[in-house]
Structure 1
Amino acid sequence: MKRYENQVAAITGGATGLGKAIAQRFAEEGAKLALIDFNDELLEKTKAEFEAAGYEVLTCQGDISSEASVNAAFDKIEATYGQLDVMVNSAGIVGPTKINFADVDLADFEKVNAVNLTGSFLTAKAAVKIMEKRNYGRILLIASIAGKEGNAGMTCYSTSKAGVIGLVKAAGKEYAETGITINGLAPAVIRTAFIETIPDDQVKYMTDKIPMKRCGTLDEVTGICAYICSPEAAFNTGYTFDISGGRATY
């Protein structure tokens, strides 16, 4: 399938993990890529790998919690390609785990929300300003099952992802009469390098809540992302899709 031929897709956190996998799926379906990531070294490594596979790739080193950094990245994308059709905000951090919220430092709480929630707001805002010039676009913000149900011991993360879901609901309604859709995706545990940063017993706690009793795979996530961000999904907006192995059925 070539659903993204002649389209430009920007992916934050695109140098590694889930973001990289999503970017590869879009490129396989014909998209030109713009990868945004904090890690410049990994960005260039991924760019070389993708270009060797024949994909067109622009890289933008940036911090999604900084408005100036986000705006610079999206200005570069527009100046290079002249358009933006898809934006997936996949960048995020876990923050403190296995700790009661009363023992969480305010600085840690603010840092996680700055990246996960403020970063979603800033990237969506920058993307929509480019997309509305052509009255077409697909914005996908990666939330989490933790944002729907809350994970004990992960208050910072759960709170930030609940905020992302609220952002999707409101922003999706605001642009519902345009050609721009704004949706979310709430994964349960997906087997990526991201999960390796979480203690094993915390991962087990989360996995045990999944009726399928397993982690999701990258292929499963990229498949649903490819649909949400395609022209086919024109009647979906303001919605946070589930990919949780049956854990969330609402």
Structure 2
Amino acid sequence: MAYNNADYDFKGCVAVVTGGNGGIGAAISERLARAGAQVVCWDLKANPASPFRQEEVDITDPASTDAAVQRLLADTGRIDFLVNNAGYAGSTVPLDEYDVAEWHRIVNVNLLGVFHTCRSVVPAMRVAGSGRIVNIASLAGKEGTPNASAYSAAKAGVLALTKSLGKELAHAGVLVNALAPAAVKTSLLEQMSPAHVQNMINKSPMARLGTVDEVAEMVAWLCSGSCTFNTGAVFDLSGGRATY
């Protein structure tokens, strides 16, 4: 039996995707745009080759996210979707061997960055009485990955933030959900040893890596009108690896 992807109509919607120019972010941007959304990529450096609107935004700086929101609202008058995808993995070393500054940087990007973007965007969604926020977390935030304490802790924080904000906005017409992917096939894996990548594959009951398109499809559903009674929820994308 052949299974077809769902069709969505996001015409007239404005979508902000942080880290939207590479890997998972690029797939999310393309999927939302294919459904008709106007996609705006927030990244530290603009990509002139991208087909999407570029905004140079430092998500670790709340003044930068505030300014980006004001520019976008002035131009479009709306922000319908916020996809918090930007992240920084950092080193993989035992906790007591971490450089303190790098540990802080990992948390600053992965957790405080999500706080800053949500803090800047939520007021506009409250006024509109509608919106979708999708936070790209990680299975590391649920399981705790050895030698990745900062990344695991930050992503666990994103999951808790999602649950908290989802409850806060439950009557505002704004849904807030998170994805917790296991290993996804991106260029990042090229920086890892084949043995390490194979170990990640071995942990999956499906015995494979996830794809960026599979992540993008879940994001599209969470942004769509088909998702109406899910907020503050965490959706696994793990090939059956997640156990809770």
Pairs aligned (count): 238
Give the alignment of 1:135-146 within 5 angstroms.
135-146=129-140
Using the TM superposition, give the Cα deviation of residue 141 of structure 1 relative to its aligned residue in structure 2, in angstroms: 0.6
CA distance in 2, matches of 1:196, 1:90: 20
SS in 2 for 1:45: coil
One-letter amino acid matched to 2:138 = S
CA distance in 1, matches of 2:105, 2:197: 22
- Tell me the C-alpha RMSD between the 2 structures: 1.3
- Normalization by structure 2: what TM-score? 0.93
CA distance in 2, matches of 1:29, 1:214: 28
Matched, 1:95 2:101: no
Matched, 1:11 2:25: no
Q: What is residue 49 of structure 2 aligned with on the other side?
A: 45
CA distance in 1, matches of 2:89, 2:198: 16
Q: What is residue 206 of structure 1 aligned with on the other side?
A: 200
Using the TM superposition, give the Cα deviation of residue 108 of structure 1 relative to its aligned residue in structure 2, in angstroms: 1.1
SS in 1 for 2:145: coil
Which of 52, 73, 76 is residue 81 of structure 1 equivalent to? 76
Q: What is residue 4 of structure 2 aligned with on the other side?
A: none
Q: What is residue 218 of structure 1 aligned with on the other side?
A: 212
Using the TM superposition, give the Cα deviation of residue 178 of structure 1 relative to its aligned residue in structure 2, in angstroms: 1.6
Name structure 1 gaps, 5 residues minimum. 51-56
Give the alignment of 1:18-33 within 5 angstroms.
18-33=24-39
| TM-aligned CA distance change 1:204 to 1:158, over 3 Å | farther
Give the alignment of 1:124-139 within 5 angstroms.
124-139=118-133
Matched, 1:120 2:85: no
SS in 2 for 1:226: helix
Is the Cα–Cα contact under 8 Å of residues 90 and 142 in structure 1 kept in the other structure? yes
Q: What is residue 54 of structure 1 aligned with on the other side?
A: none
Q: What is residue 162 of structure 2 aligned with on the other side?
A: 168
Using the TM superposition, give the Cα deviation of residue 199 of structure 1 relative to its aligned residue in structure 2, in angstroms: 4.1
Higher mean Cα deviation, 228-237 or 180-189?
228-237
Give the fraction of aligned pairs with identical amino acids, expressed as a percent.
Answer: 41
SS in 1 for 2:171: coil
Q: What is residue 3 of structure 2 aligned with on the other side?
A: none
- Normalization by structure 1: what TM-score? 0.91
SS in 2 for 1:44: coil
Name structure 2 gaps, 5 residues minimum. 1-6
Is the Cα–Cα contact under 8 Å of residues 184 and 210 in structure 2 kept in the other structure? yes
CA distance in 2, matches of 1:229, 1:161: 21
Q: What is residue 53 of structure 1 aligned with on the other side?
A: none
What CA deviation, in whole Å up to 9, does each residue of 1:61-105 have, x standing for no partner? Answer: 0111111111121112111111010000110011111x1111112
| TM-aligned CA distance change 1:102 to 1:205, over 3 Å | farther
